Amino acid sequence: MAASPPLVLCLGEALVDRLGPLGGDPASAPAGDCDDRLGGAPANVACALARLGRQAAFLGRLGRDPAGEALAALFRARGVDTSGLQWDAERPTRIVLVRRDLAGERQFGGFAGNRGEGFADEALQAVTLPQQASWLLVGTLPLAGGAAAALERAVEQAGIAGVALAVDVNWRPTFWDDTAPPDAAPRPEQAAAMLALLQRATLLKCAAEEAQWLFGSADPEQVRAALPQQPAVVVTDGAAPLRWCLGRSSGVMAPYRVPVLDSTGAGDAFTAGLLHGLVARPDLLGGQDGLAVEQLMRFASGCGALVCQGAGAIDPQPTAAQVEAFLAARQSGPPH
């Protein structure tokens, strides 16, 4: 890794989101009607953090193909540390088929490019975490395949080194079973695998439906109470209010209403906004400064809102100055 270690490590998948035409199917639409965008939740978060001015690293595996080269070039252009990037000469970079409804909301519905041996992200090998990192950000998708051992090793290292673990559930049933409907709930064995990871998180971010599936409640205080380590919990719910529980601070906030072109990656931008603030103010995890926690939630929500107004997960990601300008324009009254 680099001589000056990044503060936030993002481990997992980097891929291509193939966005279908609004209201159409990317699996059957003509190539000219689809829009290929670089993405993958950990890659999105790493790029968003770098755009915000925060040191970040991506730890993952790419295919030796044009998509993989494009992702590596993007990381370099953003200033993301890629010392932990692995290359796979046999398996391709994953392409995810993304349906978008007429309002821009997306649904993940299968993959393209598999030559019979799976995708590069599934073959992630063990990585060595650099010293002095403050956060390790992971999702649950590596648990679905061959990358589970590498994820476990990274989490173990983080625990030994005192690196805080952030987990975004990011449930995607087709990663676990490519025949599953895109709106399927986790099966019991899948939920058990995810819960084993969530029980080690310092910060847990999940969607309301994910919290309901895994904990029987979308109330962040109930989610926290169900986990032995009592983590900070943030529950997002699309256009419905955001809820959080960080130490002594609990709250509810309506999301910013903006014209939505494509919601892909908005949650990842939100996560990046959270981590950006928590690196600067680790004390916010204790929630003693409730006003500052609320300001952090507004900043993270602003990151997500700005991404919704552009196509793809990475291209529309804002700088910190752009987020602050967005918030300043809305500082009088409730979010709008």
Q: Where are the alpha helices (DSSP H) in the chain?
A: 41-52, 66-78, 148-161, 173-176, 188-198, 208-215, 220-225, 266-280, 290-308, 320-328
The confidence score (pLDDT) of residue 30 equals 85
Across the range 60-87, mean pLDDT stands at 97
Across the range 45-53, mean pLDDT stands at 98
What contacts 135, CB < 8 A, 6 or more positions away?
A: 7, 8, 9, 163, 164, 165, 166, 275, 278, 279
CB 235 within 8 A of CB 242: yes
Structure tokens at 61: 């595996």
Query: Which residue's structure tokens are 């409640």?
Result: 217
Render pLDDT for 95-119 as a digit per residue (tens, 0 to 9). 988 877 777 666 777 898 898 899 9
R_g (Cα) of the chain, nearest Å: 18
The confidence score (pLDDT) of residue 2 equals 47
Write phi, then psi, for 289 (nearest 5 degrees): -100, 85
Query: Where is pLDDT greater, at 30 or 67?
Result: 67
Distance (Å, whole) CA 96 – CA 115: 14
Query: Which residue's structure tokens are 């009088």?
Result: 332
The sign of the torsion formed by the CA atoms of 137, 141, 144, 145 equals negative
CB 93 within 8 A of CB 68: yes
Q: Provide the residue ranges of all domains of the chain, joining segments of one domain with +.
A: 8-328
Render pLDDT for 229-257 as a digit per residue (tens, 0 to 9). 999 999 999 889 999 999 999 999 999 99
Count CA within 13 A, CB hemisphere, residue 312: 20
Helix (H), strand (E) counts: the chain: 10, 13
The confidence score (pLDDT) of residue 333 equals 47
The confidence score (pLDDT) of residue 298 equals 97
Lowest mean pLDDT among 42-56, 87-101, 114-128, 156-170: 87-101
Lowest mean pLDDT among 104-108, 119-123, 283-287: 104-108
Structure tokens at 300: 């993270």
CB 239 within 8 A of CB 292: no
* 3-class SS of residue 126: coil
CB 134 within 8 A of CB 111: no
CA distances to 53, 135, 271, 298 from 294, rounded to whole Å, are 21, 21, 15, 6
Average pLDDT, rounded, for the chain: 92
* 3-class SS of residue 208: helix
Render pLDDT for 5-20 as a digit per residue (tens, 0 to 9). 679 999 999 999 888 7
User: What does CATH list as the number for 8-328?
Assistant: 3.40.1190.20
Query: Which residue's structure tokens are 């993989």?
Result: 68
In the structure, what pLDDT confidence band is assigned to residue 51 with cuts at 50, 70 and 90?
very high
The confidence score (pLDDT) of residue 1 equals 44
Render pLDDT for 146-202 as a digit per residue (tens, 0 to 9). 999 999 999 999 999 999 999 999 999 999 998 898 889 999 999 999 999 999 999
Q: How many CB atoms lie within 10 A of CB 125?
A: 12
Write phi, then psi, for 234 (nearest 5 degrees): -125, 125
The confidence score (pLDDT) of residue 296 equals 98
